[in-house]
Chain A
Amino acid sequence: MEEEDLIKRLEKISLPEIETKSHRERLKLALMKKYLPERKKAEVFNIFKKLVPAGAIAVLLFFFIFNNLNSQKYNLAKAKEIALQNNEIKNWLQQGSTIKDIKVVDGKAYVLIEPPEVKKEQRELAPDSLKSGVAFQENLTEEEKFGGALAEVNIKEKEVKNIKKLAPDAIDLIKSKKDKALDIANKSQEVQEKIPREAEVLNINVTTPKFRLSKEGDSVSVIPETETEEKASIIYQFDENRCEGKVDLNKERVEEIKCLNEINTGATKEESER
């Protein structure tokens, strides 16, 4: 028997064209009554399914941010508490220093201790200082010369691992400020008039700069604050005379020039008046 014969026989088969009307009706009713609410539920479920991942992400994000902020606050508080237990730091703080900034990196906290504000009058040039050829910073006591410190705190081990004093002279920044002060003074007309060219620069001092902590990636560094009052004092010596030029580094101008002979003259007048 060939395939064509089989095809012909199959095509000739009388097929049942029947259906059960009762099933048709019952199924329709069942679909409409029973399954439609299910379908609506499924639609709600589908919307819910779409919302769930977004909601979960939002909750996780919120939890992460909240936890991170809380953990940061906790670490900062903990670092401060540990630092305050250190005798050296305690001593500085008793003398007026303050904890300026704390940064936490990888379980370590860096605590910046700022020295107390130097009183303005202490910064003023004293005649004796001019005589000795030093400027206002040399008038300060050892405690007052304290330029701040950076303490490294291990939060896990609850101890201060290292304390590094910020010695202003050791910082390159000071040198650049001295150069800048001298440059401003050299260009000043008042200096050119009062101070001879051959005058020797005995000393240059700049005000103690203020610092802050800067966190970059996994490292923390101490950088100067940009908006602090920066002043310099230059001591000149020439022909048995000494002068001090006060320079405002922010305004880039010489504020005042005082010479020893002027001070002595002033003192003589006062004595004669008495």
Chain B
Amino acid sequence: MAEEEKKLIERAKKDPEVFSELYEKYYSQMFGYILKRVANLEIAQDVTSETFLKALKNLWQFRWRNIPFSSWLYRIANNEIVNYFRKHKAKIVPLEKISEPISNDNPEIEFIEVQEELKKHQDFLRAQRKISKLDTKYQEVIVLRFFEKKQIKEIAEILGKKEGTIKSLLHRGLEKLRKDFFETL
């Protein structure tokens, strides 16, 4: 499996058309992760676009070190989330307050439908709102662990940190979250 992916990446480096195969393989996973981090459909679309653009531009720099390609994409996504909020200096607009699609490019019907679907997950939205108040380092480990269902080892690979560090970050993040989580949940 890893060998196949390695070959695919090598082909994609030489022939950018092959990149579309990687895109098809990882779009849902990346969009899902970014949405769980930002809890906003439009921002998730923007950050996903930036993530794949960066991946495409920098694919030639990718070196296979027995770490899945998805880990590299997660890392780009994490950077792009930080970059997005740094650039826009905007807080996430709660989904409940978004009544209309912001982007005219999105087909309205689909956007509204997806938005409505997202609104159904109120537990997730409330939890995400609490998590988004934490430092980025805690947000990353908590979302990866509980929303992306990643193992500690995988999180360590994605964030480029030691497993012990991840455990420690997770523990401290949960500790901070615990204090006010159940009061409003």
Which of B44-52, B65-73, B80-88, B153-161 sits within the interface? Answer: B44-52
Nearest A residue (CB) for B125:
A16
Please, how many angstroms separate the alpha-carbon atoms of A264 and B45 in the complex? 124
B146, A11: Cβ atoms closer than 8 Å:
yes
Please, how many angstroms separate the alpha-carbon atoms of A38 and B124 in the complex? 38
Which of A28-36, A74-82, A216-224 sits within the interface? Answer: A28-36
B36 contacts partner chain A, Cβ-Cβ < 8 Å: yes
Size of A's binding interface in residues, CB under 8 A: 33
Nearest A residue (CB) for B185:
A9
Nearest A residue (CB) for B45:
A23
B175 contacts partner chain A, Cβ-Cβ < 8 Å: yes
Other-chain contact of B57, A19, A22, A39 (Cβ < 8 Å): A39
A7, B106: Cβ atoms closer than 8 Å:
no
A138 contacts partner chain B, Cβ-Cβ < 8 Å: no
B57, A15: Cβ atoms closer than 8 Å:
no
Please, how many angstroms separate the alpha-carbon atoms of A9 and B127 in the complex? 10
B152 contacts partner chain A, Cβ-Cβ < 8 Å: no
Please, how many angstroms separate the alpha-carbon atoms of A66 and B23 in the complex? 54
A3, B178: Cβ atoms closer than 8 Å:
yes
**CB neighbors of B among A10-52 (8 A):** 10-11, 13-24, 26-28, 30-32, 35-36, 38-40, 42-43, 46
B49, A30: Cβ atoms closer than 8 Å:
yes
Residues 17-28 of B, flagged 1 when their CB comes within 8 A of A and 0 if not, give 101100110011
Kindly list chain A residues whose C-beta atoms are within 8 Å of the C-beta of B52: 27, 31
Residues 162-185 of B, flagged 1 when their CB comes within 8 A of A and 0 if not, give 000000000100110110011001
Taking the nearest CB of chain B, how far is it from the CB of A230, in angstroms? 71
B35 contacts partner chain A, Cβ-Cβ < 8 Å: yes
B19, A31: Cβ atoms closer than 8 Å:
yes
B43 contacts partner chain A, Cβ-Cβ < 8 Å: no
Known contacts A20-B45, A31-B52; A10/B146 CB under 8 A: yes
Please, how many angstroms separate the alpha-carbon atoms of A11 and B149 in the complex? 9
Known contacts A3-B175, A35-B56; A20/B121 CB under 8 A: no
Taking the nearest CB of chain B, how far is it from the CB of A34, in angstroms? 9
Known contacts A28-B20, A28-B23; A3/B118 CB under 8 A: no
A15, B107: Cβ atoms closer than 8 Å:
no
Please, how many angstroms separate the alpha-carbon atoms of A6 and B176 in the complex? 11
Kindly list chain A residues whose C-beta atoms are within 8 Å of the C-beta of B123: 13-14
Other-chain contact of B36, A9, A15, A26, A27 (Cβ < 8 Å): A15
A1 contacts partner chain B, Cβ-Cβ < 8 Å: yes
Known contacts A14-B121, A16-B124, A20-B106; A6/B181 CB under 8 A: yes
Please, how many angstroms separate the alpha-carbon atoms of A17 and B29 in the complex? 10
B3 contacts partner chain A, Cβ-Cβ < 8 Å: no
B20, A19: Cβ atoms closer than 8 Å:
no
Other-chain contact of B121, A10, A16, A23 (Cβ < 8 Å): A16
Kindly list chain A residues whose C-beta atoms are within 8 Å of the C-beta of B135: none
- Given contacts A16-B118, A28-B20, list 19 more A-B pairs with CB under 8 A: A1-B181, A6-B181, A13-B124, A13-B146, A14-B121, A15-B124, A16-B35, A16-B124, A20-B41, A20-B111, A22-B110, A23-B106, A27-B45, A31-B23, A31-B52, A31-B53, A32-B20, A35-B57, A36-B17
Interface CB pairs A-B, < 8 A, 15: A1-B181, A6-B174, A6-B178, A13-B123, A14-B123, A16-B120, A17-B32, A19-B31, A22-B106, A23-B45, A24-B27, A27-B27, A28-B20, A32-B20, A35-B53
Q: Which 10 A-B pairs have the closest CB atoms?
A: A10-B146, A16-B121, A22-B107, A23-B45, A13-B123, A6-B178, A19-B31, A36-B16, A1-B182, A18-B117
